[in-house]
Amino acid sequence: MRFILFALVIIFSLSACVTNKPTPIEASSGYEEQILEWHKARNARLNQPDSWLTLAGLFWLEQGDNSFGGSRDNKLVFPGENMPPVMGVLNLKGDSVSIRVADGVQIYLNDTIVTNSGLSQASSGEPDILTHGSLTWYIIERGKRTGVRLKDARHPNYVNFKPTELFPIDSTWRIPAMLELYETATSVDIVNVLGDTSPNATPGLLHFEIEGHPYTLTPLADPGDDSYFIIFGDATNGLSTYGAGRFLVIPAVDENGATLIDFNQSYNMPCVFSPYATCPLPPEENLLPIAIEAGEKVYTIDGGH
């Protein structure tokens, strides 16, 4: 993972670091207020007791029994004061996970006290949520791995939350784009920070210009989606923005194949907020060799990626 991030930083460091301003287009009245409202809502989501800032652990299960609790003798060591030494066992059998709770330990499964139960995973829709005190955890899948994602509503990163910072809002970073639609169903391989690869549907190739220079981005979306998700990197990464890149959501194209890429709404990956997040990385074709000084700046925490 560190090698991947290091390689990305090297790529961007070798790129031009002087900000290239796009050709201005007319922005709607109150545009700056719209971006500030978007930013306010973004920070409100981060400042929630189940946000990325509450991540407290990521554990990979082995086949068979995996004990968990506060003792370091466990396979899964849960953080926190006054944690029961042994809280129970998570059993992985094939792709299925079940829990057996230790005697005298009170754990809730979806708000009901549990002793033994199978567990649904995040990949199947809504995962079963387990709770003890301020801790919550659930089962995830990443590639061929099955893991436990742990959150703590009292995590210092959450308790000491500070709002993210934006570059100065500049409507010239609101850029018109045209979609070159693919004739057949197409996907792009997205690699995450763990090295896992997954195919993601893409509707086509977005074409746009900055200072008269043409660029492209590959958006991710399923047929019929009303918005596109973009994972991109640029020459600010590792300097004023996160080293691995940022995310952006834009409207799907209209009947003429047109849309707007608003870089003022670029935002940080979850990996900025916790070392326990498993973020997707930009595909190579989305590494822009220019500095996009718009949207969220890097957010600093203790122990981030």
In a shared domain, residues 232 and 190: yes
Tens digits of per-residue pLDDT, 236-293? 999 999 999 999 999 999 999 999 999 999 999 999 999 999 999 999 999 999 999 9
Please tell me whether residues 192 and 281 are part of one structural domain.
yes
Q: What is the pLDDT of residue 26?
A: 53
Percent of the chain with pLDDT over 90: 82
Provide CB contacts within 8 A for 42, sequence distance 6+. Answer: 164, 267, 296
Q: Which residue, of 159, 186, 203, is where some domain finishes?
A: 159
**268 and 188 within one domain:** yes
Among the three residues 115, 135, 159, which one is the final residue of a domain in this structure? 159
The pLDDT of residue 35 is above 80: yes
Provide the pLDDT for residue 5. Answer: 44
Residue 27: what pLDDT? 53
185 assigned to some structural domain = yes
Q: What is the mean pLDDT of residues 160-178?
A: 96
Q: Is residue 296 included in any domain, yes or no? A: no
Report how far residue 158's alpha carbon sits from residue 50's, in angstroms, rounded to the nearest whole number: 9
**Average pLDDT, whole number, for the chain?**
90
**Structural contact between residues 240 and 13, judged by C-beta atoms closer than 8 angstroms:** no
CA distance 289 to 152: 38
Calpha distance 177→206 (Å, rounded):
6
Residues 197 and 104 in one domain: no
292 belongs to a structural domain: no
Count: domains in the chain: 2
Which of 93, 125, 159 terminates a domain? The answer is 159
Q: Could you tell me if 304 and 55 are in contact, meaning their C-beta atoms sit under 8 angstroms apart?
A: no
Residue 256 · residue 269 · CB < 8 Å? no
Do 96 and 42 fall into the same domain?
no
Residue 32: inside a domain, yes or no?
Answer: yes
Residues 282 and 168 in one domain: yes
In this predicted structure, the answer to whether residue 1 has a pLDDT above a threshold of 60 is no
Smallest CA-to-CA distance from 205 within 190, 218, 194 is with 218
Same domain? For 280 and 190 the reply is yes
Residue 120 within any structural domain of the chain: yes
pLDDT score of 303 more than 80: no
Q: Tokens 């989606």 appear where?
A: 225
- Expressed as residue numbers, the domain containing 205 is 2-47+164-286
Residue 301 falls within a domain, yes or no? no
C-alpha to C-alpha distances, 297 to 173, 198, 260, nearest whole angstrom: 15, 27, 21
Q: What is the DSSP string of 39-58?
A: HHHHHHHHTSTTSGGGEEEE
Specify whether 8 is located in the same domain as 37: yes
pLDDT at 299 over 70: yes
pLDDT > 70? residue 8: no
**Which of 176 and 2 is assigned the larger pLDDT?**
176
For residues 5-24, one letter each, b for 16 or more C-beta atoms within 10 angstroms of the residue's C-beta and e for the rest, the string is beebbebbeebeeebbebee
Confidence of residue 92 (pLDDT cuts 50, 70, 90): very high
Q: Which residue has the higher pLDDT, 196 or 12?
A: 196
Q: Are residues 254 and 185 in the same domain?
A: yes
* Inside any domain, residue 153: yes
Tell me the pLDDT tens digit for each residue of 196-206: 999 999 999 99
Tell whether 39 and 168 lie within a shared domain. yes
Are 134 and 177 part of one and the same domain? no
**Any idea what the CATH number is for the domain that residue 144 is in?**
2.60.200.20
**pLDDT of residue 36 exceeding 90:** yes
294 domain-assigned? no
User: Does 196 share its domain with 274?
Assistant: yes
